[in-house]
């Protein structure tokens, strides 16, 4: 299970129909707990995928030290892949590794990723089961509206 969240109002920032919120917990969490926490919010919710610099900046804007949806590929051993739905993994194409410290390099045992602390939004790889940060980025994918001329507000 995951620890409690701090009960302050969470801001939501959207990129099109992809709406992001970062939750801060009362203790540090690891990848699987973050994934479970976000998915428990509903069918359209997931641990956040990051597909662009714009989305990275949205999440980084909530603060440093954030778990998101990326792990080393089980099949290739390289970074990486994300899980769009339980049990499903797809190939990641956007990356923003910290150039210092061999982050995201092939091999090793650091198979998950975070927007690291004091890293200006850059990513670090870390061991998936390690509890090193207390924030997770969740994503809600809003249903797309059909263009019928409605207000869409
Ligand atoms: Ca690392």
Q: What is the pLDDT of residue 8?
A: 59
The answer to whether residue 8 sits within a structural domain is no
* 3-class SS of residue 34: helix
pTM exceeds 0.75, yes or no: yes
- DSSP single-letter state for residue 109: S
pLDDT (tens, 9 = 90+) of the chain, 153 residues, equals: 677 777 555 789 999 999 999 999 999 999 999 999 999 999 999 999 999 999 999 999 988 899 999 999 999 999 999 999 999 999 999 999 999 999 999 988 999 999 999 999 999 999 999 999 999 999 999 998 765 544 445
**44 CA → ligand 1 middle, Å:** 30
Q: Are 79 and 46 spatial neighbours (Cβ–Cβ below 8 Å)?
A: no
**9 CA → ligand 1 middle, Å:** 31
The answer to whether residue 35 sits within a structural domain is yes
Q: What is the pLDDT of residue 150?
A: 46
The answer to whether residue 146 sits within a structural domain is no
Q: What is the pLDDT of residue 146?
A: 67
The HSE-up count of residue 97 (CA atoms within 13 Å, CB side) is 17
Domain count, the chain: 1
Q: What is the pLDDT of residue 5?
A: 74
Host domain of residue 81: 13-141
The answer to whether residue 6 sits within a structural domain is no
**102 CA → ligand 1 middle, Å:** 7
The answer to whether residue 150 sits within a structural domain is no
* 28-72 confidence digits (pLDDT tens): 999 999 999 999 999 999 999 999 999 999 999 988 899 999 999
Residues with Cβ within 8 Å of 61's Cβ and at least 6 positions away in sequence, in order, are: 13
CATH number of the domain encompassing residue 135: 3.10.100.10
The answer to whether residue 1 sits within a structural domain is no
Cα 104-92-27 angle, rounded to 5 deg: 60
In the structure encoding, which two tokens stand for residue 85, read together?
Answer: 């739905």
**152 CA → ligand 1 middle, Å:** 43
The answer to whether residue 3 sits within a structural domain is no
Q: What is the pLDDT of residue 56?
A: 98
Give the rounded distance of the alpha carbon of 68 from its chain centre. Answer: 2
The answer to whether residue 98 sits within a structural domain is yes
């Amino acid at each position: 299970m995951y620890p409690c969240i701090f009960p302050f109002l969470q801001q939501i920032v959207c990129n099109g129909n992809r709406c992001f919120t970062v939750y801060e917990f009362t203790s540090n969490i690891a990848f699987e707990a973050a994934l479970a926490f976000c998915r428990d919010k509903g069918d359209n919710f997931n641990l956040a995928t990051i597909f662009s610099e714009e989305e990275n900046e949205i999440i980084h804007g909530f603060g440093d030290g954030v778990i998101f949806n990326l792990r080393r590929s089980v099949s290739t051993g390289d970074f990486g892949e994300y899980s769009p739905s339980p049990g499903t993994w797809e190939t990641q194409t956007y990356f923003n590794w910290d150039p210092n410290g061999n982050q995201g390099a092939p091999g090793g045992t650091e198979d998950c990723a975070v927007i690291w602390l004091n890293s200006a939004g850059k990513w670090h790889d870390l061991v998936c089961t390690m509890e090193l940060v207390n924030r997770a980025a969740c994503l809600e994918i809003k249903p797309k509206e059909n263009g019928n001329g409605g207000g869409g507000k």
